[in-house]
Amino acid sequence: MKNYYLNGKNLKTAYGITALQAEGSNLAISGAWDFPVRTGKCFHDWGDDDGIEPYVSPEEIRFAGRDIVFVGMVSAANEKEALVSCYKLYDDIGGFNSLVPFEAEGLGQWMVLIKSEIKAEYVGSGHCKITITLREPVCDLSGAMPTNKPEYNAVADHLNNPIYINNQSLQIGSINFDGYGIDGIMFRHLGLIILAFTGHFGRPAPKDGEYTSYQNEGFKITRHGAREITMKALIVQPDYQSFKTALKGFYKLFSKEGLRYITKENDFLRDFFVKDGFAVSNVNIEAKRVVATLEMKLTEAKAWQNWSILTDANNNGIVTELGNIIIT
């Protein structure tokens, strides 16, 4: 069981709060890895055009904070002692005059404030379930841009014997493209397994229109709004550090200026941007892997029915200096 600290105090030893598990997770916190929503004006709706005009230049991209929810159990000798422990926590929180650190042992630290009501439910025998919603107003969205990773294979001679140089097997790396991913980075190299992709078959709702009608039901024929597609995926990484690195790669990718594009099997190529952030839930840290669910809403700018991967005369994929495929 991990220890959790608020403003340097161990919640268990200071207040008798034992960490519980958030829904679908084996950790006591949720929301700590979400990608926040954008703030300010994210697009313009030209009423006489279909869809919207995304605002994706560097000076237009700004982000809000995120909520982190902690669930725990106050354990005391009796009901009154449980109440005393709760109020001790509330008194200490009342003394905060700035952001304070919230730390989950081995997971990270976030600078937070108490966002809303602390919910506490007495369940009997000196036990009280407590839910604390914290707000991280400024999120660290730094990270390294994800890339496709070469797969290495041993080089053999004409007799199929491995070739060695300085007692080390000679290896040649290659990238085997399947053509499906985001900005030319394949889903498997993003660490994503797509679970669901919904909203792409339908037509967006018509835009509102003004009209005047006195006797009959009024109407105005309008253009349609922007298509919003929900993508749900599984994140699987070998350890927590790899999990954090993968998420930071997503932060970097989706906070970058311009539009992203996604290619998926049996689908069109779609230009999109992310204005509503994404949620990372059901985080489970196991002995040899970390598994979580990522859910994101893609706001579509345009769909291209015909697309292909740029290749050379020998049908080899041409890639950027980052190793990403080029779509035409």
At residue 215, the pLDDT reads 75
Q: Give the pLDDT score at 149.
A: 77
Say how far apart CA 273 and CA 298 lie, in whole Å: 6
Q: Are strands 108-114 and 127-136 parallel, antiparallel or unpaired?
A: antiparallel
Pair (196, 259) in one structural domain: yes
Same domain, 127 and 210: no
Alpha carbon distance 29, 133 (integer Å): 10
pTM of the model: 0.85
159, part of any domain: no
Q: What is the CA angle 81-82-84, rounded to 5? A: 60
> Looking at the domain assignment, is residue 296 inside a domain?
yes
Q: What per-residue confidence (pLDDT) applies to 318?
A: 66
Give yes or no: residues 129 and 182 share one domain: no
Q: Looking at the domain assignment, is residue 167 inside a domain? A: no
119 and 10 both lie in a single domain: yes
* Structural domain boundaries, residue 50: 4-136
3 state SS of 187: helix
Say which residues have a Cβ less than 8 Å from residue 202's Cβ, sequence separation at least 6.
227
Answer whether residue 171 is part of any domain. Answer: no
pLDDT recorded at residue 42: 95
Identify whether residues 279 and 196 lie together within a single domain: yes
197/132 same-domain check: no
Q: Are residues 130 and 184 in the same domain?
A: no
Which stretches of the chain drop beneath a pLDDT of 50?
Answer: none
Residue 225 resides in a domain? yes
240 part of a folded domain: yes
Among positive and negative, which fits the CA dihedral 149, 154, 157, 159? negative
Same domain, 126 and 182: no
Tens digits of residue pLDDT in 237-251: 999 999 999 999 999
CB 110 within 8 A of CB 215: no
Count up the domains in the chain and report the number. Answer: 2
Residues 6+ apart with CB under 8 A from 294: 192, 232, 233, 234, 235, 250, 278, 279, 280
Token pair 């400024």: residue: 138
Q: What per-residue confidence (pLDDT) applies to 169?
A: 77
Q: Which helix (H) or strand (E) holds 177?
A: none
Do 60 and 16 touch, CB atoms closer than 8 A?
A: no
Task: Provide the CATH number for the domain around residue 82.
Answer: 2.40.30.200
- Among 254, 265, 239, 263, residue whose Cα is nearest residue 294: 254
Among 74, 108, 136, residue at a domain's last position: 136
Contact 195, 19 (CB under 8 A): no
Domain boundary among the residues 84, 111, 136 is at 136
Do 182 and 284 share a domain, yes or no? yes
Domain for residue 322, yes or no? no
List 181's β-bridge partners, or say none.
186, 263
End-to-end CA distance of the chain: 51
Residue the block writes with tokens 């007495």: 122
Q: How far, in Å, CA of 230 to CA of 264, rounded? A: 13
Clarify whether residues 114 and 198 are in a common domain. Answer: no
- Tokens describing residue 313: 């005369």
Q: Is residue 312 part of a domain?
A: no
> Does 183 lie in the same domain as 121?
no
The per-residue pLDDT for 154 is 76
Q: Does residue 194 share a domain with residue 112?
A: no
Q: From CA 238, how far away is CA 288, in angstroms rounded?
A: 6
Q: Which distant-in-sequence residues (6+ apart) come within 8 Å of 167 by Cβ?
A: none
Residues in the chain: 328
Rounded Cα distance, 292 and 204, in Å: 30
Which residue type occupies 2? Answer: K
Q: Where are the alpha helices (DSSP H) in the chain?
A: 11-15, 79-94, 187-190, 240-255
Query: What is the C-alpha to C-alpha distance for residues 135 and 216, in angstroms, rounded to an integer?
Result: 50
Partner residues linked to 38 by β-bridges: 63
